[in-house]
Amino acid sequence: MRAAIYRGKGNLEVAEIAVPRVGPSEVRIAVEYCGVCGTDLHDVLDEWGASGSIGGHEWSGRVVEVGSDVLLEINTLVVGHPGHACGRCKACLASRTNLCEERPTAGLEQPHGAFADYVVIGSDRAVPVPSGVEARAAAYAEPLAVALHALDLAGVDSKHRVMVSGCGPIGAAAVAALIAQGHDGVVVVEPSPLRRDLALRLGATVLEPSDLESPWHPGRAVDEPVDAVIETSGIRTAAESGLAQLVACGRMVLVGTGMDFPRLDSNRIILNELVVTGAYTYGANGIASALELISSGLLPLDVLIEPESVGLDALFDTMVRLRAGEVAGKVLVRP
C-alpha cells in the first residue's frame, strides 16, 4: 500500500509499504478521507514528528478486514478514536480518558496514521458512523470533537458572549458549533484575510488583532468584554491579548499549540478571578457527540471543508500552503 512517511524536517516521502497485519481484536480500514491537522504541520514542517511515522488522525474509512474477536461488519463506515485509555487510572475513572496516565507522551509517539491506503486500529477505537452521514462529512468528526471539548471546558451557554481567537480548522469548528448551538454575537479575531472571510461566512463578527485593546490597569475591563475566549491559534500575543478581553470571572481555554509560550498577566487573573485552562483532545464520548452534531445538518460543512480533496502526492505542498495561510478551510486527503 502507499503511505506518506515522515523522514525528517520538511521531508515527506510517499512510498510503498507492507499492508499492516490485523490482530484478533483489530480491524483494517480502507481510508476514505483524512483531514490535515495543525499537529501534522508541526510534525512535518517543524520537526515535531518521529522519523518513520505516518501522520493523519482525522479520518473516515470502511472496514475491509476484522480480527477473529471482532463483530464489526465488513464495509461498515467508521471514524477512528485516536485516544488510549487504560480504564484504571484516576483520570479514566473520572471520565477524563484523554488524560489517561498511560497515554503516549505527545510528540514522542510513532503513529501509523491514515495518510495511507489502509490503517489498522483496535476495534474499540473504531466508531460506526450514523446512517445518512457520508464519509466526507464523517472525516470532520475528529477536529469537531476537539472544538466541542474546548467549548465544554469554557462552560458557556447561548447567553454568553464568546470570542474565538484564530479561525483555522479548530477555530472555525468552534465558531460553527457555537452558532449551531444558538449563540449570537460570536466574535472571531483573525489576521488572515482568507480566514476572516471564512469567519464571516460562518456568521461571526470579525476583528483583526490590532482592534483589541488592553486596559491600562489589570483590574479594569474593556468596553465590551466577553465571557469566554477560545484560543486556537497557538500564538503568544493572541493568548496575552485574549486574556484582557475577559469579563470578571471569565474563562480562557487554550487549544492551539505552539512553542512561543505566552506570558499571562497574573495580576489580571487575580484581580478578576479569571480561569485559564487547557483543552487536550476530547473525552470518551467526543467523537460520538461530534457525529451527532454532524448528522443534525446544522453545520455548514460546505463552508468548513475545502471543496476539493488532495492525494498523497500533493500532501506536502498542501501543508506548505496551509502554513502560508493560502487555504482557509479543512483540507481532506483522499489516499
- Pairing state between β 187-189 and 11-16: unpaired
Active site residues: 39, 42
Amino acid at 321: R
CA distance 248 to 322: 36
Determine the Cα–Cα distance for residues 146 and 83; give it in Å rounded to an integer.
12
Q: At what angle do helices 286-296 and 141-154 cross, to 10 degrees?
A: 110
Supply 16's cell numbers.
Answer: 510503498
Q: Is 148 exposed, middle or buried (0-12, 13-18, 19+ CB in 10 A)?
A: buried
Q: Report the distance separating Cα 23 and Cα 26, nearest Å.
A: 5
Cβ(149)–Cβ(286) below 8 Å: yes
Provide the β-strand partners of residue 126: 80
What is the C-alpha radius of gyration for the chain, rounded to an integer number of angstroms? Answer: 20
* CA–CA separation, 5 and 11 (whole Å): 8
Q: Compute the distance between CA of residue 141 and CA of residue 145 in angstroms, rounded to an integer.
A: 6
How many other C-beta atoms can be found within 10 angstroms of the C-beta atom of residue 25?
A: 13
Other beta carbons less than 10 A from residue 38's beta carbon: 21
Contact 64, 72 (CB under 8 A): no
d(CA 139, CA 129): 10
